[in-house]
Structure 1
Amino acid sequence: MAGRGPTPKPAASRARRNKPDAALRVIVAEPVKQPTLPQIWERNAKTGKRQRVPWPAETRRWWKMWGDSPLSAEFTSTDWSELLITARLHAAVVDGDLKHAAELRLRVAKFGATPEDRARLRITFAAADDAEAKRSTPPSGASGTATGYGDLRAVD
């Protein structure tokens, strides 16, 4: 008669332990609306006086894009504060100061800027779920077979 194999190791000494997930702490937070971009002041190198500098047009479009994003619907004041700092980095990179490009990329990744970032954060848009549901249902008027060749038969 065949045996059942060796006795399993005690749970504490197993190589792979499927540890339970850490408890999730839920905090009630109220989302806030996107603030406007603040004024930028820089010191004039010649006069030493502070002068107002306009935001680059590309950074203004970038800021509007974040406000229109479905991700921003849940942003709190601290999220917008971090994104404001990121906007300064974006403006610097747009103006040609590429030493801030790596930091900019790291910061926007934390907000889920690209599909890869959202996958890492385990974020998906509902529109993708709707598209998948449409793909799984056959179009109207299609035959009952998976290939759509239900009326064909083999001939010799």
Structure 2
Amino acid sequence: MAVTGRKPKDGPKRNRVAAVHDWTTVVDQPYDGPRPTLPEARRVEWTDRELGRQSDMQPLQSITRQWWDRVASMPHCVLWSDADWQYAVTTALVADAVFAGDVRLAGELRQRERVLGTTLDARRDLRIRYVPLEDESAEGEVTESTSKASAPQNVTRLSERRARLTADAP
């Protein structure tokens, strides 16, 4: 779920206290791990005046399968649990309904895609950052961003100052 408040800014931090919601960095390469498969069809229901409530199975659109291939290969899918994958499959069924012409579900699809982090803006809200593979901080697959912003050259660290002061004390 997205964090409330102002959008985070890149650059050095100017706070003395670590942020409650830190960035999660993920290596920028497509996810190729295990993922669920989409069902072949989805149930469509409607009401007929003469026959009453009807339902039928409708095969998924080809654009839905393309959408799934893109979503299921996003680099931050490595962070997903089984529940997240189930949410993504359900979102694919909502996307299929929208692609088939049910525009009433377009708002729901937009919100679900934001939760999944499909756009750059959504990933920024989720505080997910992609880093290139050759970056030294990205040696592992996924790292929690806990590094402090580097101090400017002309600033003395407080721990060094305390050590100097206590060493000079009589």
The TM-score normalised by the length of structure 2 is 0.51
| 1:1-150 to 2 correspondences below 5 Å | 33-38=34-39, 39-42=41-44, 51-127=56-132
**Residue type of the partner of 1:35?**
P
Measured in 2, the distance between the counterparts of 1:23 and 1:121 equals 9
Q: Which has the higher strand share?
A: 2
- How high is the sequence identity, in percent, across the aligned residues? 28
Label 1:21 to 1:108 Cα distance change in 2 as closer, same or farther (>3 A).
Answer: same
Partner SS for 1:61: helix
Residue 120 of structure 1: how far off its partner (Å):
1.0
Answer 1 or 2: higher relative contact order, Cα 8 Å, separation at least 6: 2
Deviation at 1:52, TM superposition (A): 3.3
How many angstroms does 1:76 deviate by? Answer: 1.1
Q: In 2, distance between residues paired with 1:106 and 1:63?
A: 16
**CA RMSD after TM alignment:** 2.9
CA distance in 1, matches of 2:129, 2:21: 22
With over 3 angstroms needed to count, the CA separation of the structure-2 counterparts of 1:100 and 1:128, relative to structure 1, is farther
Q: Which amino acid aligns with 1:40?
A: R
Report the residue type matching 1:64 in the other structure. Answer: D
Q: Could you say which structure has the larger radius of gyration?
A: 1
Structure 1 unmatched runs, 5+: 1-17, 25-31, 131-156
Higher helix share: 1
Q: Unpaired runs of 5+ in structure 2?
A: 1-15, 23-32, 136-170
Q: Alpha carbons of 1:52 and 1:123: their partners in 2 closer, same or farther (altered >3 Å)?
A: same
Q: Distance in 1 between matches of 2:121 and 2:134?
A: 17
Q: 1:23 to 1:56 in 2, by over 3 A?
A: closer
